[in-house]
Structure formats: C-alpha cells, structure tokens
Amino acid sequence: MKTNIIPAIRLTLFCAIFFSGIYTFSLLGIAKFASNGGKGEITTQNGKTYYSNIGQLFTDDKYFNSRPSAVGYNAAGSAGSNKGPSNPVYLAEVQARIDTFMVHNPSVKRIEIPSDLVTASGSGLDPNISVQGAKIQIKRIAKVRSISEEKLLQLIDNQIEKPLFGLFGTAKVNVLKLNLALENIARR
C-alpha cells in the first residue's frame, strides 16, 4: 500500500503545482505575444467598442444573422447545449430555428439552409458563420436595405477569413465585422 500512496501523493502535488502555477503563467506569457496582449479581438467603429471574437445576437432582417447560442450569448457562461442529435428537445429547438429562418427567408428552400445557421457551436459563442451561411441571407438583406445582391456578395467576399495557413479549418465570415461593414455601405 505504501508503494502506491507515496507516488500518488507526489503526482498529485506535482500536478497541482504544475497546472495551477507553471502551466497557467506559461499560457499567460504566450498570450502577451498575441494581438491585443491576449485581451480579445477588439473592433471599434463610430466610437463603440466590440469584441469580435465573441458571438453576438443579430436577428433583425437588415443584418446577417448570427449562429445560434446555447448560452444566450453570455460570455460568462460559455458552453454547448450538451444535448445529443437524437434528443427530442434539441430536435425541437433546431426545428424552431429552421421554421424561423424560413419565415424570414422565404426564397430559401429548407434543404439549402446551412447547419451553422440552426445549430449552436460547442462554445455557444461562435462569432463566425460559414460563407454559405452568409450568402444564403443576401436576398433578404438586399430587399430590406435596397442594396444590390452583387454589392452584398462583394461585401461577403471581402470579409471571408481563410483557413489558418490555408490548411486548418474552413473559410468563415465574422458576423459582427460583416454587419459593421454592411452599416458602412448603408451610410453611403
């Protein structure tokens, strides 16, 4: 018994010191080299400051809609819904999101709706949508704002963030940045 307890206590002490001290301060040190010193991605427009790396709610028809959030866009409680794909409550939520999307985008067929517009991300705070998710909303926004679809397509193309090093992830569009750019166009 003594041969098992002493190594277990040593390992516990080592892990406590390493993960609560050394590892934590190492990550903080690395974050200082990131843009904005690891304090998030800040976007400023017209005197207002926004955190563009945190999902925000956009539901008005004149804006590109955000990805749904399982935590109500509360950055203090980042989490997924933890409901499986066969959970009846989850399926009802997704169906309600599809129905709402169809009401606001009547020209879109149900099968064309990208999954990221009706399902929440693992963090519940994903600030991005797919390029397809942005493009499928063009008709609605063009109609509401009286802006040509070509101009909106060009706006989306200018806001596409490519995969990291061209390899990791997929092309995406930050909804906040896209909507801020849309506001700039509308002011002209």
Write out pLDDT tens, residues 50-104: 778 888 888 888 999 999 988 888 877 777 777 888 889 989 999 999 999 999 9
Q: Residue 65 has what pLDDT? A: 92
Backbone angles phi, psi at 5, to 5 degrees: -70, -45
State the pLDDT confidence band at 188, using cuts at 50, 70 and 90.
Answer: low
Do residues 136 and 105 lie in contact, with contact meaning Cβ atoms separated by under 8 Å? yes
Q: Residue 134 has what pLDDT? A: 93
Q: Residue 80 has what pLDDT? A: 75
Q: Residue 105 has what pLDDT? A: 92
Do residues 163 and 170 lie in contact, with contact meaning Cβ atoms separated by under 8 Å? yes
pLDDT at 15 over 70: yes
Percent of the chain at pLDDT exceeding 90:
43
> Mind listing the pLDDT tens digit for each residue in 142-166?
999 989 989 999 999 999 989 888 7
> Mind listing the pLDDT tens digit for each residue in 114-135?
999 999 887 878 889 999 999 9
Report the alpha-carbon distance of residue 147 to residue 186 in Å, rounded. Answer: 8
- Here the tokens at position 100 are 């709402």
Do residues 133 and 175 lie in contact, with contact meaning Cβ atoms separated by under 8 Å? no
